[in-house]
Amino acid sequence: METNIANPKSEALDPKSQILNPVFHDPKHHIKIYQGDCLEILAAIPADCVDLIFADPPYFLSNDGITCHAGRMVSVNKGEWDRSRGPDANHEFNRAWLAACQRVLKPHGTIWVSGTAHIIHSVGFAMQQLGFKLLNDISWVKPNPPPNLSCRYFTHATETIIWAAKSRKSRHTFNYKLMKELAGGKQMKSVWQIPAPERDEKRFGKHPTQKPVKLLERILLAASNEGDLVLDPFMGSGTTAIVALRLRRMALAIDRESQWVQLTLTRVARELICVTMTGVSFQSSLDLRTSFVDRSGEQAHRKQMTLSARLVHRECKYFFVGTDEREVVYSVAAPSLEEAWKLFESSPKSGCSIISIIKTETEIYLAQ
Ligand SMILES: C[S@@+](CC[C@H](N)C(=O)[O-])C[C@H]1O[C@@H](n2cnc3c(N)ncnc32)[C@H](O)[C@@H]1O
């Protein structure tokens, strides 16, 4: 069984049209995912339209050093996108994307930027230069940080998240009561203890700087409301888009690396589509005499069959789910996805825009 969010014919796959065309757009849930440089894509977004931005920019810490991961010594390098270009160029980059974010924020909108000491001071300074209103700096405390292998520093156990409003005149959203409730009836402090992403959050792939869902949940609940537009210019594994979807915010997220766009699409697909398959067999000679035995819970039954079994029937079916009409608009039995797509294209439903294709496979084995 597999699920694809894909439209092989989509213009979004044309590199020349990538800036204006998202690689994924779900109009029902208002999610847009873009692949490309965030500076170019932000420039194409209208001014004053975003309620909340979460940005987790490159930390510029990939300097060939070492760190500890899962008890092993590993390189700190995250990827070319994280390599330092020198303090001046790094600061210029921070200023440029912060200015682009400031332009698209609504007058009362806010931005949250996470980072380590490598960049967070440059981010804070750039915000002051650009006239943002600094609201808080959150210390995100990681309960189980990796040990410091050199034993010449304290273990790095925190990241800073700066929260700022678009301008000094902004009257920002803060869901004070909800935060107080979440803090057990006391005012919530600016020190947040939140564990690293859970195993399940990494089941479709690992991003080296993936943020926990719980962190983004806290941020979106604190400073946005249902229906608000949330933007992430450095989405990585798509954590912000996933949380926005769950909390019924609209989301727009950008990354320039296809590897991370793919990971985000896989995570988003699993939020949007759930396939459950049940096989039930009623055996006339046994079940019909007594009462029907529903064997739908026996998914692993074939593996347990002690007698040798013969495959007597195999069928692959493809279900095409519409983008606008959120229904199965077409279904067909076919030996491959390509074949199913060809049949779809020659069907009366070929004009429908497709958000996903679900494949189901049925195999019936009979004991010999
Ligand atoms: C620190 S990671 C973000 C991780 C993310 N918060 C998560 O939860 O997975 C930064 C991401 O920014 C992307 N990136 C770097 N420079 C970029 C640029 N100029 N435009 C768009 N994306 C960029 C990288 O590919 C990387 O995935």
One domain for residues 214 and 79: yes
Cα 256 to ligand 1 centre (Å):
7
- Torsion angle, alpha carbons of 43, 46, 51, 55, to 10: -10
How many folded domains does the chain comprise? Answer: 2
Contact 38, 28 (CB under 8 A): no
pLDDT in tens, 1-11: 333 333 333 33
Asked whether residue 1 is domain-assigned, the answer is: no
Q: Where are the alpha helices (DSSP H) in 160-206?
A: 176-182
323 lines ligand 1 (CB under 6 A): no
One domain for residues 263 and 311: no
pLDDT in tens, 236-258: 999 999 999 999 999 999 999 99
Residue 32 has pLDDT above 70, yes or no: yes
Domain boundary residue, one of 272, 293, 312: 272
356 lines ligand 1 (CB under 6 A): no
Q: How many of the other CB atoms lie within 10 Å of CB of 246? A: 13
Asked whether residue 290 is domain-assigned, the answer is: no
Domain boundary residue, one of 254, 272, 290: 272
Among 26-30, 52-56, 342-346, the range scoring the smallest mean pLDDT is: 26-30
- Cα–Cα dist 163/121, whole Å: 13
Residue 62 has pLDDT above 70, yes or no: no
Residue 362 has pLDDT above 90, yes or no: no
Band the pLDDT of 364: cuts 50, 70, 90: confident
Residue 94 has pLDDT above 90, yes or no: yes
One domain for residues 28 and 146: yes
Cα 160 to ligand 1 centre (Å):
17
Cα 85 to ligand 1 centre (Å):
16
Cα 257 to ligand 1 centre (Å):
8
| pLDDT score, position 12 | 37
| pLDDT greater at residue 284 or residue 66 | 66
One domain for residues 139 and 222: yes
Residue with tokens 């899962």: 70
38 lines ligand 1 (CB under 6 A): yes
Nearest CA to ligand 1 atom 25: 257
Domain that holds residue 335: 301-367
pLDDT in tens, 117-163: 989 999 999 999 999 999 999 999 999 888 888 889 999 999 999 99
- CA-wise closest residue to 112 among 242, 39, 215: 215
Cα 125 to ligand 1 centre (Å):
21
Contact 124, 162 (CB under 8 A): yes
267 lines ligand 1 (CB under 6 A): no
Residue 281 has pLDDT above 80, yes or no: no
| pLDDT score, position 178 | 98
Cα 82 to ligand 1 centre (Å):
9
One domain for residues 262 and 305: no
336-to-136, 238, 317 alpha-carbon distances in Å = 54, 30, 9
Mean pLDDT of the chain: 85
234 lines ligand 1 (CB under 6 A): yes
Residue 305 has pLDDT above 60, yes or no: no
pLDDT in tens, 157-213: 999 999 999 999 999 999 999 999 999 999 999 999 999 999 999 999 989 899 999
One domain for residues 130 and 188: yes
142-to-150, 152, 211, 324 alpha-carbon distances in Å = 20, 20, 11, 42
237 lines ligand 1 (CB under 6 A): yes
One domain for residues 24 and 121: yes
One domain for residues 139 and 207: yes
Instruction: Name residues whose C-beta falls within 8 Å of residue 339's C-beta, 6 or more positions apart in sequence.
Output: none
Compute the average pLDDT of residues 308-337.
87
| pLDDT score, position 5 | 39
One domain for residues 212 and 266: yes
Band the pLDDT of 276: cuts 50, 70, 90: low
Cα 301 to ligand 1 centre (Å):
44
Asked whether residue 289 is domain-assigned, the answer is: no
Compute the average pLDDT of residues 50-56.
98
- Residue 260 alpha carbon, nearest atom of ligand 1: 27
Band the pLDDT of 280: cuts 50, 70, 90: low
Give this prediction's pTM. 0.79
Contact 62, 74 (CB under 8 A): no
209 lines ligand 1 (CB under 6 A): yes
The domain that contains 35 carries what CATH number? 3.40.50.150
Residue 217 has pLDDT above 50, yes or no: yes
Nearest CA to ligand 1 atom 2: 236
Residue by residue, DSSP assigns 293-328 as ---TT-TTHHHH--S-EEEEEEEEEEEEEESSS-SE
- Torsion angle, alpha carbons of 235, 236, 239, 245, to 10: 50
One domain for residues 260 and 329: no
Compute the average pLDDT of residues 267-280.
73
Q: Select from 204, 230, 235 the residue to mutate for testing ligand 1; criterion: most ligand atoms less than 8 Å from CB.
A: 235
Q: How many of the other CB atoms lie within 10 Å of CB of 291? A: 7
Residue by residue, DSSP assigns 24-56 as EEETTTTEEEEES-HHHHHHTSPSS-EEEEEE-
One domain for residues 61 and 126: yes
One domain for residues 320 and 252: no
| pLDDT greater at residue 200 or residue 73 | 200
Q: Where are the alpha helices (DSSP H) in the chain?
A: 38-43, 87-104, 117-130, 176-182, 213-223, 239-246, 258-272, 301-304, 337-345
What is the percentage of the chain residues whose pLDDT exceeds 70?
80
- Residue 38 alpha carbon, nearest atom of ligand 1: 20
Q: Select from 234, 256, 264 the residue to mutate for testing ligand 1; criterion: most ligand atoms less than 8 Å from CB.
A: 234
Residues in the chain: 368
